[in-house]
Structure 1
């Protein structure tokens, strides 16, 4: 695709995220553009999903993810040029961090650290897999110089993995990359590495009394992530207390000295013990029951990929390689990918258009090659029973290979091309596991698809339905294309109407269930019985008021009708802050709407019927 077309796509994404001003931060991983958004109610998910190059969109843990695929880097470069460096490649803002849970923050860090370095790890892992296959087939002697050179190419990444982790983590924690790499280098300096291998001393002593425990940090990931995290605070602290004239020389000096000592004495050992603890938990699960371990990991893997939580398995697998020399989690990741491919392929029979069938075939092939996002976001989130089938296939296959102890001896992409890495004692079980994963997921998905088709036929017989649409407040009716908010006026978020309120009472414009409330209280989402998703947006640019003018009288999960008051808004306070009080009411999934009512007058009372929305069951 030409750069000009990619530029148009990126601009289209920015526009339907509510514009540049609505994007607080943006970065990317291996397949996804990731965003922090100021006002989620301005996001037009439907329009973004309609872009052919977009494989899926999800809002997970206060983070909007747009799945592009392996070409994401080229789109990100264009995005950077449009947004500016101040909004890209940065960690979440302080205010955003305070709103996140520790789990969310941890996952953001893990995905941010490992995303950029996955290509290096995957490439080196694939070479390791080929080496294992060549040696097992006796094509090349394991003592040959060819193997030695290939092993250098493959093992270099894993031996010096802390260097890669340090550089990537420095971007996340906003500290100097070269100081971070210096910390990693000191932890892997031959003096430390040789002492750990010799095993003749337990610790060095600085100034005769500060103990530096001896560990081999080669291939470890958790200690260096923590060390760079601490370094980021040390550097800022040093920079703040030093006079400006001394900072150039003494900030890096004191940062390296203090940060390095903390890494050696506290952070490094804690990271080692934590990594070993995680590995021990996984090992205990396998010792307790390999089959149970396979079922647990196989079941959570597809959903983990869907939510972005799969990155949490990467440091555990790498820790297993460092501690045990092998890992049993990655073969299960392999099985999950194969199950996703099988379930996706089964959806071919359910597809109705040639374009949809083409998407399914290409997504399935991509999953066989180790990239599952197109299948998950482009196909299985649409056919949710297919996702359940993939989960079943993944659990069954993972339980099977785990029962026979299938393992891998180096990090490798979970692709059909990684099979050579399994040549040896476990090869036949890996092959059988693939067959189980693909066949089980495919057959279960076919069964679910048939059941779903019967349900669809029953629903289609019911035809179209009507939904009452009422005035959200007492005031003057305003056509949606005439409001002073371009995102709403362009109907990019959805179609509907607006009212300039004269009273503070806000009523539900439809009957249904409240499904979400924006943290700043200015936007409420309601889902009707027929599946319409209706957004009530109180005021224009009122997100900056932090909810102060709004008093909510309903909560998520509450059932409401057109006579239910859901909120009050302090019109005087909003106007005092020079904000527009207009309330917008839009249907965000317009694909379910056949016709919207036309207002018959200018002024309405709150709860007064405007007309009927003609909906269709899709």
Structure 2
């Protein structure tokens, strides 16, 4: 894959570098915050080779790449001269509803940490397994060194969040880091452990343990961003670069220790207690509901609101009950993709489902969900049902997660502890049940090859998309069409500016300019309709597109309308080629001998495939 070319294409179709407020990436997606959504061409992006799909959620414009997203992200950073994931002012430039903005803020803060969180979480789980099985002694220095590598991220989590939050909110990163460092400064920790009364100019200070905390530093950096903006505006230019950090530290460290710290810790403790109480009342129902809803929440980006809760539970109690249930959802959608692979007779879908399922096993479900199960609908529902079953088992077993990381085969060690056997049974049930349900219930397979062979052998018929005079392709002034380089077909000189679907199928291409359309028929014939010659130069002028890429159409449905006389007035040839671009797969491409055609007339008959 040419990552440089892919990065350039993505930048072009999101409206250019200047249309970006901020951008980050997660395991499979580039997540853009755009200044003007209307400048982004979603349909053109989805047509780019290397882009799985485009999702708009939580105030973000998300381009799903798959496993190669780090390489593409790196190229975009290079092209934009190291700009990376922030613009001055951060989230204050964003528009949209409050819920969408909150989701965007949380995802932007936590997304850059997901990879290292997963790695540290796996190591932490492996060390727990090694000590429980006697492979390592917790008193050995080898264990101490490895545990420091595994636990340092969680211990110093406020420092890492200070960096990502500062980038998101547009605050000074080094001031934010210093504030976070003050929270976990050894003397402050000793003061807290001593139990001595603490005050700041007579104001009582309730010291808390801020290692591994999430909420306090995010609140602090958010307020810091506004304080810095105020200072930079009113302090004289000659001294503002060092007076502003001074004010930031003098104001924010005491304010965080007095207000934001206790507020954040008490809020986190309350959330953790609420989650525990739900599992205490009915762990089976809680596990089933979380697992069933998780992938739905992921689709809409709402799951980011739960990520801080999971991290806080781990920080407060050393364990979390939510994440194990989410693993059931991951394995269920993976199983559904496997079920599609086993059931489908469409070779392309079989290959896609197989590769997506393999990726899903390792915790990356976007290709499986967006590329397979959600597209086919029924497999997605089978996955949700299976996830609920597995989640109920996991909830009943009181399974826990001791660290964070995307649920998958490699991260199973982070679930080691009480209820581990139930966790393994739960994800296995989700996976296997989803395969079985998908295979039994089935789905609308894009291709039934046996039926396709029967129908094509008797002749698949392609109908005229236009009313007009029939011409051979050789009379089209564009050599690409006249030489049949793109495939066999005919041309129509239209007398009416309406283009209709030539067969039942799916719109495989719908150019934003409205001048060309591709239809993949139910029997996999690829039909290209190109209205006029060189009409792409009009950039959509005189064309009114009625369909979008991926839309299912029936023969006769209107694809587009166009102004014939306006095209002629502007000097464009309106001869319209209708080409079967995969005509080499057929033993016979029989063209009509009619001189004039209407949309109800058959113009091409395809004989048995080779």
* Alignment check: 8 A CA contact 1:126 1:413 kept: no
* Alignment check: 8 A CA contact 1:537 1:584 kept: no
Is 1:179 aligned to residue 175 of structure 2? yes
* Alignment check: 8 A CA contact 2:58 2:301 kept: no
Distance 1:407 1:372 in 2: 21
Distance 1:43 1:368 in 2: 33
Higher mean displacement: 249-258 or 354-363: 354-363
Partner of 2:586: none
Sort the Cα spacing of 1:277 and 1:383 in 2 relative to 1 into closer, same or farther, 3 A.
same
Distance 2:188 2:26 in 1: 33
Is 1:331 aligned to residue 327 of structure 2? no
Q: What TM-score does the superposition give when structure 1 sets the normalisation length? A: 0.73
* Alignment check: 8 A CA contact 1:25 1:92 kept: no
Which consecutive residues of structure 1, in runs of 5 or more, have no partner in the other structure? 470-508, 512-528, 539-579, 604-610
1:40-439 superposed matches below 5 A: 40=37, 43-83=40-80, 89-90=86-87, 97=94, 99-198=95-194, 200-201=195-196, 204-207=198-201, 209-423=202-416, 425-439=418-432
- Distance apart, 1:145 and its partner CA: 2.2
Distance 2:28 2:339 in 1: 24
* Alignment check: 8 A CA contact 1:133 1:421 kept: no
* Alignment check: 8 A CA contact 2:506 2:550 kept: no
Sort the Cα spacing of 1:78 and 1:167 in 2 relative to 1 into closer, same or farther, 3 A.
same
- Distance apart, 1:318 and its partner CA: 1.3
* Alignment check: 8 A CA contact 2:184 2:210 kept: yes
Higher mean displacement: 278-287 or 589-598: 589-598
* Alignment check: 8 A CA contact 1:192 1:216 kept: no
- What per-residue deviation string (whole Å, max 9, x for no partner) do you get for residues 555-601 of structure 1? xxxxxxxxxxxxxxxxxxxxxxxxx9967521322775677667565
- Distance apart, 1:387 and its partner CA: 1.4
Of the three residues 569, 573, 585, the one matched with 2:544 is 585
Sort the Cα spacing of 1:12 and 1:234 in 2 relative to 1 into closer, same or farther, 3 A.
same
| 2:205 match: secondary structure | strand
Distance 1:276 1:465 in 2: 67
* Alignment check: 8 A CA contact 2:544 2:562 kept: no
* Alignment check: 8 A CA contact 1:41 1:537 kept: no
How many residue pairs get aligned? The number is 507
Q: Report the RMSD for the aligned CA atoms in angstroms.
A: 3.9
Partner of 1:486: none
* Alignment check: 8 A CA contact 2:466 2:599 kept: yes
- Distance apart, 1:220 and its partner CA: 0.5
Distance 1:101 1:271 in 2: 24
Sort the Cα spacing of 1:534 and 1:144 in 2 relative to 1 into closer, same or farther, 3 A.
closer
* Alignment check: 8 A CA contact 1:161 1:221 kept: yes
Post-superposition, which runs of at least 4 consecutive aligned residues in structure 1 deviate over 4 A?
18-25, 37-44, 83-88, 91-96, 421-425, 450-458, 460-469, 529-538, 580-584, 590-603, 611-615
| 2:86 match: secondary structure | coil
| 1:406 match: secondary structure | coil
Sort the Cα spacing of 1:103 and 1:457 in 2 relative to 1 into closer, same or farther, 3 A.
farther
Partner of 1:523: none
Q: Which has the larger radius of gyration?
A: 2
